[in-house]
Structure 1
């Protein structure tokens, strides 16, 4: 039966695909949290720092009033007297935008795929022998659909964080002028760190949703295989097992 063959294909390849996406977002979350901690460390430093009126004469000297040892250790961010925006800050902003593009594309693709899966699952409702695993199949779709929306939200959060950082002129001269006046830069970095941290949290939630599908895929695939085998042998496709994958127990009157 083509419908069952398609369902088996999905339960095989998409299960393996999801194993990757149950862990990959966690790696991204760690990287985003590192970005956020570096931004928080710089903001902490700039909140209390007294801007230097006599910076070191060497263009390669580190800016004593602007650098944070924590930010340097976490992301390599180092403000030098004779240079402009640190290359590491430029790389961080670029990475945020690149991650946003990837999450936006992934979220859109997954949402479209789940709409198609939802439609296919409606056809599976007609197969009585699969009735006991339809809850599992629909839970998989619901988990993935929610993960898709979370990925789309992660994307817009990361774009906004990058926009926040682009509004800060991250050069020693501009930062010292800001620290001598309104001190807007620390606030912008705190805000960006907050947004990036939330995106990291959503990465973890997305991974958890996909991980929840592992057992559900196994149970659903096992049940479909039993039905296919029964139909191929000309037998009754009614399941000898329950939705939990355990053999059914006949009720015995007593």
Structure 2
């Protein structure tokens, strides 16, 4: 290769590193263009469950304990069809908060933790990727790829920010749910009074909905990089072949 051309093209060891990073980052993004969509669907299902309870408690009249037998269903508190749709068991006489609601909150907390950690990790990686991409400007042979590479980084960085916001929304929703006493006695007292519980449930469900929307947006951003990675890697492989 002529001397002036060697100054235009990155050395082969650098091209190998770039190709390796591009391959693994692309495979990583293939997962993260799909996983948030599944989580978004699960969040929407949880949101619907909360809305079903809130709808019921906004209209139902407070009753008394309908049975002296433990584990009997509470007719006034249960939302019709909720068990079949969401798996949330009926509120039971003599019991406290249903185990399924406790599990729902625990699982949402785990999603918030995982999403926050994933967003923080991705932001750190993009900080490094930004610096590396800037150094490639020294090689004119890669000039027409710099737009593609920086767009990938920008979209991933934006996705990282969305993940951080998702975690905040989910934690705030859990804070709202923590203000509701889900024992049958407390819920009946609320139905007979100010009906605060359904308002908290509606608010939490709306935060779940927004978090689900942002998860989908995050997946769309990452998925949009698919073609850009193919273009970028094709050029890197072409330059490596020219090195022989």
- TM-score if structure 2 supplies the norm length? 0.93
Q: Quick check: 2:65–2:74 contact (8 Å CA) kept in 1?
A: no
**Larger mean Cα displacement after TM superposition, 55-64 or 90-99:** 55-64
1:58 corresponds in structure 2 to 69
CA contact 2:52–2:79 (8 Å) conserved in 1: yes
**Residue 92 of structure 1 pairs with residue 104 of structure 2:** yes
User: Is the 1:39–1:71 contact (alpha carbons within 8 Å) kept by the matching residues of 2?
Assistant: no
Residue 15 of structure 1 corresponds to: 26
Q: Which residue of structure 2 lines up, in the alignment, with residue 72 of structure 1?
A: 83
| TM-score, scaled relative to structure 1 | 0.89
Do residues 32 (structure 1) and 43 (structure 2) align? yes
User: C-alpha separation between the residues in 1 aligned to 2:219 and 2:212?
Assistant: 11
The question of whether the paired residues in 2 share the 8 Å contact of 1:140 and 1:213 is answered with yes
Partner Cα distance (2:203, 2:17) in 1 = 47
Distance 1:143 1:103 in 2: 17
Higher RCO structure, 1 or 2 (CA under 8 Å, sep 6+): 2
Tell me, yes or no, if the aligned pair for 2:30 and 2:223 is still in contact at 8 Å.
yes
Report the alpha carbon displacement of residue 76 of structure 1 after superposing the two structures with TM.
2.0
1:145 and 2:157 matched = yes
Name the SS for the 1:61 alignment partner. coil
**Aligned-pair CA distance for 1:73:** 2.3
Q: Which residue does the alignment assign to 2:135?
A: 123
Moved over 4 A (4+): none
Of the structure 1 ranges 148-157 and 130-139, higher mean CA displacement relative to structure 2 is found in: 130-139
Structure 1 spans left out of the alignment, 5+ residues = 234-254
Report if the CA contact (8 A) 1:111-1:148 is conserved. yes
CA RMSD after TM alignment: 1.0
Per residue, is there more helix in 1 or in 2? 2
| Aligned position for 1:248 | none
Q: CA deviation at 1:229?
A: 1.8
1:251 corresponds to: none
- Alpha-carbon distance, 1:126 to partner: 1.1
Residue in structure 1 matched with residue 114 of structure 2 by the alignment: 102
Aligned to 1:185: 197
